[in-house]
Amino acid sequence: MTATTRIVEIRRNVLKANDAIARELRERFERACVCVVSMVSSPGSGKTAFLEKTLTMLRLRGLRVAALVGDLATDNDAARLARSGALVKQIVTGTTCHLDALMVRKALEDWPLDELDFLFIENVGNLVCPASYDLGERARIVLLSVTEGEDKPLKYPSIFKSADLAVITKMDLAEAVEFDADAALRGIDTVRPGMEIRMVSAKRGDNMASFADWVEKLGSARSAG
């Protein structure tokens, strides 16, 4: 008897697995009335310092905030963020270069989401892979520090296109590194025309209040909708 080969037709979308979990997360966040904001950037762009300051400021405004933070190894960032007094959890991804919706769902399993106003998700430092993964967030922020070079948006357009707000960090160092703000702003506008931008220094406090206002507005827009 000879073996016969046949082709079975299937139509099954593989990338949609993450999207389905992200959709489920988004619905859960809606029900719990928590506004979820994710942050992406390259390693060392100041995500954690920026987030620590943001958590502290929002807490001072009487808002209930929490953060999930992703890294390949260590819980250093979670320890730093916990200093703000917010509820914080580290997701250790091992060798994975991004967070996906399943990791977020797992990390949130035992969390009282309805006791929160805002949840921040700090992605693994990486300007490539996180662009492809919806985490169920309400908005995505991409950070770019003045020490990185003004043409980052042009080199990594997908991540900038996937984000809702661009934040330029470490403005306190701008002069020392001869940061060309116009070039950076032009680059962002080229890949994502009309994108809102904040130029901040978490260390000195520049424009942090303006960013906190943006977050608060995002939260109220959501609960109104």
Partner 1 sequence: MHELSIAMSIADAAEEEAAKHAGSRVCAVHLRLGKLSGVVKDALLFSWDASCDGTSLTGARLVVEEVGGADLELSGLEIEDA
- Residues near partner 1, by CB under 8 A: 3-15, 17, 96-98, 100, 128-129, 131-132, 158
Residue whose CB is less far from partner 1, 9 or 110: 9
Compute CA 174 distance to the chain's CA centroid, rounded to the nearest angstrom: 23
Tell me how far apart the alpha carbons of residues 147 and 157 are, in angstroms, rounded to a whole number.
Answer: 18
Tell me how far apart the alpha carbons of residues 146 and 184 are, in angstroms, rounded to a whole number.
Answer: 9
Tell me how far apart the alpha carbons of residues 43 and 77 are, in angstroms, rounded to a whole number.
Answer: 12
Residue whose CB is less far from partner 1, 10 or 224: 10
Residue whose CB is less far from partner 1, 12 or 175: 12
* Nearest approach, Cβ of residue 21 and partner 1 (Å): 12
Tell me how far apart the alpha carbons of residues 130 and 74 are, in angstroms, rounded to a whole number.
Answer: 19
What would you report as the CA-atom Rg of the chain, rounded to the nearest whole angstrom? 19
Residue whose CB is less far from partner 1, 67 or 159: 159
* Nearest approach, Cβ of residue 19 and partner 1 (Å): 11
Residue whose CB is less far from partner 1, 97 or 183: 97
* Nearest approach, Cβ of residue 219 and partner 1 (Å): 30
DSSP conformational letter for 34:
-
* Nearest approach, Cβ of residue 126 and partner 1 (Å): 9
Compute the C-alpha angle 99/100/101, nearest 5°.
Answer: 130
Burial class, 94, CB count within 10 angstroms (exposed 0-12 / middle 13-18 / buried 19+):
exposed
* Nearest approach, Cβ of residue 12 and partner 1 (Å): 4
